[in-house]
Amino acid sequence: MADKQTSNGPLIKALIVFFLGLANGIFLGLRYDSWPSFVGFLIVGFVVAWLVYMVGRRAEAR
């Protein structure tokens, strides 16, 4: 029985995108003294990371 190997590629890409968005939000939030900027980048980073993960997972399944 062949074991199915799972790759963490999509998860790693999603985490990189999320942390880049988080770093951007922190930088812009501190630079312009704006916490809505930080929260906005946090939310957008999470959404884009989720999309990257879902697309990568579907592409890997094929």
Enter the pTM of the model: 0.70
Nearest to 32 by CA among 47, 17, 40: 40
Task: State percent of the chain over pLDDT 90.
Answer: 3
Q: 20 exposed, middle or buried (CB, 10 Å; 0-12, 13-18, 19+)?
A: middle
Q: Please compute the mean of the pLDDT values over residues 9-17 and round it to a whole number.
A: 87
Residue 17 CB-half CA count within 13 A:
18
d(CA 6, CA 61): 10
pLDDT for 6:
63
Lowest model confidence (mean pLDDT) among 4-18, 27-41, 45-59? 4-18
Count other C-beta atoms under 10 Å from residue 40's C-beta.
Answer: 15
